[in-house]
Amino acid sequence: MGGFKRWLAGALGALAMAVPLALPAQGAGVDLERIRGPKVRDLYLVVVRDPDAAILALERGKLDILGDVTRPSDIRRLSKDPRFSLSMAENFHMAQVGFNLRKFPWNVQELRRAAAMAIPRDRLVRELFSGYSAPLTTFLPPVSPYCDKSAAAPGLDAEGARALLKKAGWTWNGSGILVPPGSKTPLPPATILSPTAGVAPTTAELADRIAAALREIGIPVKAEPLDFAAMVQRIDERKFDLYLMAWQLGRDPDSLYSFYHSSMDVRGGYNQTGLKDAVMDGLLEALRYSPDEPAARKAAKAVQKALADRLPIIPIYTRYSVAAVSREWKGAVVTKASAADNSWSLLSMEPASGRERPLYWALGDEPRTLNPFTASTATDWQVLGLVYDTLLAVNPNDLSDLPWLARSWKVETMAKAGAPKTRLTFSLRGDVFWQDGKPFTAKDVKATLLFLKKHAIPRYFDSVRDIESVTVPDDRTVVVTMKNVSYWHLHSIGGLPLFPAALLDRIRDWRSWQPSRTPLPGKTGLTELYGTGPFVFRESKAGDFVRFTRNERFWLIPR
């Protein structure tokens, strides 16, 4: 912990702030081996959408865990209160400015570089977020195990930006607007699209500030806040100059392929900037189809280097996630990559006094739907994730893979006949039961994969589309053969929620299926919303709470 000396020798010189800083370690990693739970018997996920109400409910003991504390005023208030412990973690959030590379002048590389040098990230973070965000210069969030901190966009240097443009032959007209080399006409006015306050209250203002910074070096840009959907539509139609957008990325750097591969510059594709670069494509393909982890790591590094050269986007900032936990509870799991509001905490938390009582966990929004096939919001999955389990879990310490329902696994490249293919072999645990008492077997995994593939369910479409075959040599082994080679298949398949085969047979229409409202025949208190997860869904009271009880058959509970 801490150990900061009063006389800090030279660690923080001037301008050191441009580099995103690692947070202080909040513990030397969590020993996952010792987690045996869940220990709580009753769990309520309480819907509190209003942040004020959430803070006050916490203070009155009506809530025990509150995640996503974003407002500086709340952080300040809770940090002063000895009844709570706060934790802070980095996450995969990433706000960036994108250029429309299909258009002049945004296709000019030195202009983009100069723009990146004109944006005062530190000031923006200070003034808009009171410091509870980190200025970002990398192309993956620093928390990502694949992030290459040396491949970074340039930091603030407005003078340097002007010098760079001057050297490339740009001039400025009488009113300080840039004139391209060899031309007489100054740059035409442009706009930077941003969502309005409805989505992210500070984003519209951030766009205003960025536009002002760009005008400082002579790029005539104005902010144009739009309804989120309208903005996305404009970007999809490629009718834009610049845009400001925040992403919540996944653990794998695979998303870079969607953002920057030329084949993704189609309707509905995510290559919004329109980067078309053969070298880049090659690097991205190497990343997407890398056969194993070391190859993936190497490819990711190369991609980030290439991005830092080309700068199709300018990274701006990444948010920290902050969570508060009542000190009446002990055992919350906090790591560098995960604040206390995670599922590991639910497995290990217990009342500090030893006296049994229900745990109240804040849910930031009403769950939209409890149908796992159509559920899409983080809130939905905060609920569903307690019921459904996956083959692999993510280690909260270093974001590596962790055995879960699969005791072990193998990733192989089969190159016998025809094109090479990735083959995944999972060996399942033998002590896992569905919440209705039936044993969990390889057949359930197979049925889940085939069901998702057969119905082309949008949420899982990309994960299962490349499955060629699923075989079940025995009750404990699943072999999934993919159509092509990619290390990421392991995470796509290993991260899917698993459903009982017996239930999947009964689902007529997955769109309108409402498992939480359909009682399970012959089992009192159970609904069709059941899995192998640590908690059993009991009831959902719209607008108020979702109630769970401990799954007494959960495999991590010592027997």
Residues in 93-122 at the binding interface with another protein, rule: CB under 8 A = 122
Q: Measured from the CB of residue 233, what is the shortest distance to another protein in angstroms? A: 5
Tell me which amino acid residue 279 is.
V
Answer yes or no: are the C-beta atoms of 432 and 445 closer than 8 Å: no
* Nearest distance in Å: CB 240, another protein: 14
Closer by beta carbon to another protein, 268 or else 418: 268
Q: Does 542 sit near another protein (CB under 8 A)?
A: yes
Which region among 5-13, 165-173, 430-438, 472-480 touches another protein (by CB under 8 A)? 5-13
Closer residue to another protein, CB minimum distance, 122 or 475: 122
Stretch that binds another protein, among 18-26, 177-185, 280-288, 383-391 (CB under 8 A): 18-26
Kindly determine how many residues on this chain lie close enough to bind another protein according to the rule CB under 8 A. 107
Question: Footprint of another protein on residues 148-167 (CB under 8 A)?
Answer: none
Q: Which of 9, 28, 278, 417 binds another protein (CB under 8 A)?
A: 9
Quick check: 47 and 353 in contact, CB under 8 A? no
In 82-236, which residue ranges form alpha helices assigned H by DSSP?
A: 109-118, 121-129, 158-167, 203-216, 228-236
Position 398 contacts another protein (CB under 8 A): no
> Does 32 engage in binding with another protein (CB under 8 A)?
no
Site for another protein in 506-525 (CB under 8 A): 511-512, 514
Please choose, out of 14-22, 160-168, 176-184, 307-315, the segment that lies near another protein by the rule CB under 8 A: 14-22
When asked if residue 433 is in the footprint of another protein (CB under 8 A), the reply is no
Q: Is 146 in the site for another protein (CB under 8 A)?
A: no
First to last CA, the chain: 35
Name which of 493, 492, 488 is nearest 285 in CA terms: 488
Residue 95 pairs with which residues in a beta bridge? 246, 317
Q: What are the tokens at 285?
A: 């393909």
Who contacts 433 (Cβ-Cβ below 8 Å, separation ≥6)?
Answer: 439, 440, 532, 553, 555
The site string for another protein over 274-313 (x = CB under 8 A, - otherwise) reads: ----------------------------------------
Classify burial at 16, counting beta carbons within 10 Å of its beta carbon; exposed 0-12, middle 13-18, buried 19 or more: exposed
How many C-beta atoms lie closer than 10 Å to residue 120's C-beta?
19
Instruction: Rule CB under 8 A: say whether 484 interacts with another protein.
Output: no
Is residue 191 classed as helix, strand or coil in its secondary structure?
strand
Asked if 88 is part of the footprint of another protein (rule: CB under 8 A), the reply reads yes
| Cβ 377 to another protein shortest distance, Å | 8
The residue among 131 and 430 lying less far from another protein, judged by its C-beta, is 131
Q: How far apart (Å, rounded) are the C-alpha atoms in residues 478 and 467?
A: 13
Does position 249 interact with another protein (CB under 8 A)? The reply is yes
Cα distance between residue 99 and residue 109, in whole Å: 11
For residues 548 and 261, what is the distance between their CA atoms, to the nearest angstrom?
43
